[in-house]
Structure 1
Amino acid sequence: MSKMWKNRILSFLMGICCFFIGVKTVFAQHEKNFPKITIPEIIPQSDKINYLATHYWDNFNFQDTVFLTQPAVLNKAMASYLQVLAMASQKISDASWYNFVEKTQASQPMFSYFAIVLKDYLYHPDSPFRNDDYYLAVLNALIASPKATRAEKERAKREKQSLLKNTIGTKVTDVVYTLASGKTGRIYDSHTPYTLLLFYNPGCHACEETLAFLKQSQVINSALSEKELTLIAIYPDEDVSAWRKYCDDIPATWINGYDKNTRIWKEELFDLRAIPSLYLLDADKMVLLKDAPASVIESYLNNQK
C-alpha cells in the first residue's frame, strides 16, 4: 500500500473518530455494548471468519433505537463488520451484506441512521472500506423502502445515477479533450492495449502525489515506452490559464488536455467524487478499474506481464 493511500486512510479514520468522540448524550449512564456472538468450538478454524460474517448481527436488535444515542458503539461495530467481510469469502460476504441491509429496515430511525453512516464508509472517496456495489444495495433499499422519506429517496436516486456511470465492466463514456496546441482528441483515439485516464487539477496536493507516483513508476513508464499503455490526463475545470501554466509539469509521454466545454462537470459524465480520479481501460475501452489508487493500477498492470 502506498504512503499516499495510507495517509488518505488515516485522514478518513481520524475524521470519523473526531466526529464520534465529540458526541455526548444524556444517555451515557445507560451505555449499551454491542452484543457480540460466540463462535461455536465445533466450527473449523478455516470457517470461523465466514461464520462470523454470517452471524455478526444475530444478537443485535435493530429496533432498539437507544443505540442511536451511542453512535461510537455502532461506528466501532460497523468498522469491525466491514473488516470481517473483507476477510470472508466473496459469496459469504455478499449474502451477509444484503441480509444486513434488509435488517436495518426494521425501524425508520435505525434505517435512516445506517444510510447516513454507510455513505461515509462505502461512498466517501477516501474511505478504506469504499465499496460501490455494497453502497448500491443501500441506495436500492432506500429507493424501495416505504420507511424512507421523499428527500432520502430523491438523494438515493441521484447518487445511484452517478454511481452507475462508467462502472467496471462497461464501456467508458467518450470525451473530447483539447491539447495546448488547440488540436482535439478523444479517449477512443487510443489504440494501445490499455488506456489510463487521469482527471486532475493543477497544483492540488492529492494530484501532486498521484502525478509524482505515476512519473516515478517503472511499471507505468515501461508500459508507455512499449506502447502497451496510453496515459490521458484531462483537466475538467474552467481555469484554462492555470492549466496552461501547469503543462510543463506533465511528462511528454502523456497526453495532456482539458475539457474545453466543461461537459464532464456540466453533464456529469463521470462519477468524480474527488480529484484526482483514475480509470484504467482495456483495448476496447471497457473499464477495468474505476477511481482506483495509482498503486492499485500499477499492481494490476504489473500482474498482466
Structure 2
Amino acid sequence: MKDAMIKKLHSMAVATTAVLWLCAVSVTAQTTTFPYPSVPDTLRQPQARADYLLLHYWDNVDFADTTLLCSQDYGEQGFVNYIDLLGRFGKNVGPQSAKIFIDKAWSCPPARRRFDSLIDQYLDDNNSPLRNDRTYSLLLNAIANNCHTDSTERSRYRFRARLAAVNLPGDTASNFAFTADDGSTHSIREYSSQRLCLFFYDPDCENCHTVWTWMQAHPLPADVKILRIKVNDRLTIQYAIKATPTIYLLDKNNIVTLKDCTPEQLVKQFK
C-alpha cells in the first residue's frame, strides 16, 4: 500500500510541477485535463500569482459532475496539486482558499464524499509524501464551519483540527514533564541545547517494541538524544498521539522538525 501510494504520487509530480509553474509565469494554454484558472498577466510576483490561483483554483470545476471528480486525472490530480500549492504558498490566503473549496465541494453530497476521502488519504496518512498538518488543519476547520456539516460532525472535525494544529514543524514544542525509564523526572526544556527524538510509546504495545528494535538497528547521529516517553491522556492531546509509537524530531531550542513521522522518515532526515 505504501509503495503504491508513493509510485502514484511520483507519477503525479509532473502535473504538480506544472501547477507551480503557473504561479511564476503567464498561462497561455491548458495542458492538463483539470481546468486551471488563467492567472492575469498583470500579476508578476510569484506569491501574488499563487494567491490568485488559490482563490480561483476551483472556479471552473463542476462539482456536480461526479464522473470527472472520480477520475484520477481530473478530480484526484486536481486535488493533489491544490493541497501541494496550499501547503507551499497558502500563508496569505490559506484559510480563505480552504473555505472557498469546502463550500463548493460540501454543497454536493457526492463531491463531499469524494473529497472527504481524499483529504484523509493524502493529509492524514503517515505514509503520504504530501502529508501536511498545517494544510490538514485549514481544511478541517473549513469543514467544521461549513453550513452542510451537522453539529455532531462539527465537533468531531474541530477536535481533529485542534490535534492537527498542535506542535507543527517550525513551532516550539510544548513543554511537559515525564518520568524516564530509570525513574528520574525531567522536562524537555532541559534538553533545549541539543536535538531530540521523542519516542512516545505504550509498554503493552507490540508495535512499539518492533519499531524500537528497528531503530536500534538504524542508529541516529550521536548528537541526537532519544527520549522514551510513556504515553498518558494528557500527552495524547498535547502531542496529537493517535497511535503508538509516535515519533517527533526536535531541533535545538525544541523546534519541531518532524511531527508524528515514521521511523523510516526519521532516519532519512539524516541522510
Q: What interval of TM-score do these two structures reach, taking the shorter chain for normalisation? A: 0.5 to 0.7
Deviations 1:93-125 (A, max 9, x none): 676445323432333442343223212211222
Match of 2:210 among 194, 203, 207: 203
TM-score by length of 2: 0.64
Matched, 1:160 2:179: no
Q: Which residue of 2 aligns with 1:79?
A: 80
Equivalent of 1:233, from 210, 221, 227? 227
Give the one of 260, 268, 271 matched to 1:291: 260
- 1:56 Cα shift? 3.0
Which residue of 266, 272, 294 corresponds with 2:241? 272
State the structure with more CA Rg.
Answer: 1
Structure 2 unmatched runs, 5+: 11-31, 202-207
Identity percentage over the alignment?
A: 18
User: 1:187-239 CA distances to partner (integer Å, 9 max, x unpaired)?
Assistant: 3362442341331622239x72x555543xxxx32xx2xxxx5x1331xxxxx
1:80 is displaced (CA, Å) by 3.0
Q: Distance in 2 between matches of 1:136 and 1:196?
A: 25
Letter paired with 1:137: L
Q: Which residue of 1 aligns with 2:179?
A: 177
Deviation at 1:133, TM superposition (A): 1.7
**Corresponding residue of 1:146:** 147
Alpha-carbon offset, residue 136 of structure 1: 1.2
Q: Superposition pairs for residues 87-102 of structure 1, below 5 Å?
A: 90-91=91-92, 96-102=97-103
Amino acid at match of 2:158: K
Aligned-partner Cα distance in 1 for 2:188–2:216: 23
The alignment partner of 2:35 has SS state of: coil
1:36 corresponds to which residue? 35
Over 3 Å counting, the alpha-carbon distance change for 1:117 and 1:192 in structure 2 is closer
- Aligned match of 1:194: 194
TM-score, normalising length: structure 1: 0.59
Shift of 1:86: 5.6
Which letter does structure 2 place at the counterpart of 1:271? A
Q: Classify 1:15/1:263 alpha carbon distance in 2 versus 1 (closer, same or farther; 3 Å).
A: farther
**Contact 2:172–2:255, Cα closer than 8 Å, also in 1:** yes
Cα distance, 1:289 vs. partner?
A: 4.5
CA RMSD of aligned residues (A): 4.1
| Conserved? CA contact 1:125–1:273, under 8 Å | no
| Alpha carbons of structure 1 residues 173 and 66: separation in structure 2 relative to 1, 3 Å | same
Tell me the distance in 1 between the aligned counterparts of 2:60 and 2:69: 19
Report the number of matched residues.
235
Match of 1:23 in 2: none
Q: Which has the higher contact order (CA 8 A, sep 6+)?
A: 1
Deviates more, 1:153-162 or 1:89-98: 89-98
Aligned to 2:120: 119
Q: Separation in 2 of the partners of 1:44 and 1:202?
A: 54
Counterpart of 1:198 in structure 2: which amino acid?
L
- Superposed CA deviations along residues 66-93 of structure 1, whole A, max 9, x for unmatched, are 3477253411221233344566575466
Structure 1: where are the runs of 5+ without partners?
A: 1-6, 18-32, 235-257, 300-305
Distance 1:145 1:138 in 2: 10
Check the 8 A contact 1:49/1:87 in 2, yes or no. Answer: no
Shift of the 176–37 alpha-carbon distance from structure 1 to 2, 3 Å rule, reads closer
| 1:12 maps to 2:19 | no
Q: Distance in 2 between matches of 1:46 and 1:160?
A: 31
Name the CA distance, whole Å, in 1 between partners of 2:155 and 2:88. 34
Q: Alpha-carbon deviation of 1:147?
A: 0.7
